[in-house]
Structure formats: structure tokens, C-alpha cells
Amino acid sequence: MIGNFEIEPAEYNTPTRKYFSRSTLIVAKSLLGSYLQHRTPDGILGGMIVETEAYIFTEPGCHAYRGVTNRNRAMFGPPGYAYTYFTYGNHWLFNIVTEKEGRGCAVLIRALEPMEGIDLMWGNRPKAKREIDLANGPGKLAAAMRIGREQYGLDLLESELNISIPGSRHRKKIVDSNGGIVTTTRIGLSMGGDHPYRFYLADHPCVSVRAKG
């Protein structure tokens, strides 16, 4: 265990479609403490989400800002589906579609605490120096979890790539034990970088970048 809280499977449940159809900002914040799992042919990979970013179609930082393309088509589909994309020519990023179908909103999963299949993650991320570095950034996370082109458009409620969410009391324990939630601006954007759309567990060591001050 890296962080200050252990996963208790009995306290987690599969979310409903309605969970993801809410405001993107609400979903991005509420996903902290949730469990992401990927059942691969080589074994199960999993970990607790500790950092997210919201992307809303009305602002230029979002891929859906200029409408539907072949690349972002999954963003305009039903909520609760995976939107993956290749960026900077070297890594994939993993997002979860939110709000009503046709809107083009999503939450980028930026970092997680590795908890399941850690030996496999080391194989997926051979350049990592420490366990906390295996998935402490969106590109690292996708590589560690083996999420890429093949997972584009998967239903996270009914596929090998899935999300479980903790009950309200258990989630409060997770948040409190990790120093609460920090809200800050997003990272690495040329447009829309000033929006306070990034959320993370304040004291968790697997967070990618901490807000100054």
C-alpha cells in the first residue's frame, strides 16, 4: 500500500449509467477514490484513482470544442464509455465520457495508486524508478494499465475495463485520510489552462503535479 487507505472490495459497487451522465465537474471530483480495473489476457491490473481533469465541450481545451471528428467520436456517445487518444507521438490517454449523449464531455483520468497486478505494471513501465511513479500521470497510467487503441469506445459498465465506486461513507474515509480534495487548474494546455477543472487527493503520493502553495 502506497497511500493512507486500503481498498475494501465489499465497500465498492458498479456505478449506474446515470452516475456518469451528471455534470462533468461533479463526476471528475466524485471519481477520486474509485477503483479502475483492466482484465487483460496476462492478468488483472487495477488501482485507485487519485487525480482527474474535467473537459467540457464549451471550452477550447476540450477535444469536442469544434465538433465531431473521427478521433473524438466516442466523446459524443453515451456516458460511461472510454475515450482514448494518442498524443505527443508517444503515449495514450484514457478518458471517461460524461453528461448526455451528443454533448462531448469527458473526464481525463490522470493518476492512480497501483494496487493490483503491480508486477505486470512494472513490465509495462520499465523506465519507472519507484512504485509511486508507475501511474502518476495520464500517459504513465494508460501504459501501466495497458489502455490504448483497443479500449477506445468500451463500455466501462460491461467490459474488461471497468470502474467501481465506493459508498459515500467509505469514500469520505478515503478523502479524509488523504488530506481532502484539491481543486486547481489543468496541466499542459495551450488553451483553457486557466479553468479550475483538475482535482486530486491532497496528500496522496501518486498525484502527478501538486499545485504551488
Q: How far is CA 153 from CA 33, 97, 196, in A?
A: 23, 9, 27
145-204 residue pLDDT tens: 999 999 999 999 999 999 999 999 999 999 999 999 999 998 876 666 678 999 999 999
Which pLDDT does position 212 carry in this prediction?
79
Distance CA 82, CA 16 (A): 15
Q: Which residues of the chain have pLDDT under 70?
A: 1-7, 189-193, 213
Distance CA 182, CA 198 (A): 8
Note whether 206 and 63 are within 8 A (CB).
Answer: no
Q: What size, in residues, is the chain?
A: 213
Which pLDDT does position 142 carry in this prediction?
98
* Residue among 10, 2, 17, 62 nearest 157 (CA): 17
Q: Which helix (H) or strand (E) holds 13?
A: strand 12-13
Distance CA 41, CA 145 (A): 12
Question: Which phi and psi angles does 183 have, rounded to 5°?
Answer: -110, 125
Domains of the chain in sequence order: 9-198 (3.10.300.10)
